[in-house]
């Protein structure tokens, strides 16, 4: 079984750290400018939001991976967990999302994204659903009956080789 990891791009990390620091500043202001019950409620809410944001920004992405054996297993906490059998894949190919407008994500239904970094469930410009684990514009696109799976792990070329050898042959005919 092969596992492929996904790293968080630096621009996403910087953005997440800035948001957490902003929330911490709000917490400090609440601490010094409110009293009694309002202080407790305010700090509790801000503390909970900071903890949730730390989980979504730093802990969950570390756990995100794709495992490849006799089936493809995607794990994107807390957004998606999916197991795909070879027989479910109608087509597999590599695309550049910057040049393929119909497969670009329009909005997230349950996920997070910034720039080329996308994790979770998205609605595409063509109206179909997609589960995306991408960190760059070049992605492996697996077309299923009811949705797309788009993947671009850190070592994309090794992932493509492994997919070709062990799982399903990936075409390059749709690269623009």
pLDDT of residue 175: 45
Q: What percent of the chain has pLDDT over 70?
A: 98
Q: pTM here?
A: 0.85
User: Could you tell me the two tokens for 32?
Assistant: 């010094």
Mean per-residue pLDDT for 147-162? 92
Give the angle subtended at the CA of 175 by the CAs of 123 and 101, to the nearest 5°.
Answer: 35
Angstrom distance (rounded) from CA 84 to CA 144: 9
User: Could you tell me the two tokens for 151?
Assistant: 């993947």
For residues 82, 83, 87, 88, the Cα torsion angle rounded to the nearest 10 degrees is -10
pLDDT of residue 2: 86
pLDDT at 176 over 80: no
pLDDT of residue 49: 96
CA distances from 171 to 41, 66, 95, 141, 142 (A): 55, 20, 9, 10, 10
pLDDT at 174 over 60: no
- Rounded to the nearest integer, the mean pLDDT of the chain is 90
User: Could you tell me the two tokens for 38?
Assistant: 């309002």
Per residue in 12-70, pLDDT tens? 999 999 999 999 999 999 999 999 999 999 999 999 999 999 999 999 988 999 998 88
């Amino acid at each position: 079984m092969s596992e492929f990891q996904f790293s968080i791009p630096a621009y996403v990390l910087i953005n997440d750290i800035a948001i957490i620091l902003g929330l911490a500043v709000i917490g400090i202001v609440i601490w010094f400018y409110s009293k009694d019950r309002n202080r407790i409620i305010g700090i509790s809410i801000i503390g909970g939001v900071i903890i949730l944001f730390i989980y979504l920004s730093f802990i969950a992405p570390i756990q995100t991976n794709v495992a490849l054996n006799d089936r493809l297993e995607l794990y994107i906490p807390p957004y998606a967990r999916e197991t795909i059998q070879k027989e479910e894949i109608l087509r597999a190919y590599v695309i550049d999302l910057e040049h393929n407008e119909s497969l670009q994500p329009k909005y997230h239904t349950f996920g997070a994204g910034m720039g080329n970094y996308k994790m979770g469930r998205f609605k595409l410009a063509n109206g179909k659903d997609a589960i995306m684990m991408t960190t760059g514009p070049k992605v492996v696109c697996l077309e299923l009956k009811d949705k797309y799976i788009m993947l671009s792990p850190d070592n994309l070329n090794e992932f493509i080789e492994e997919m070709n050898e062990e799982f399903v042959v990936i075409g390059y005919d749709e690269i623009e």
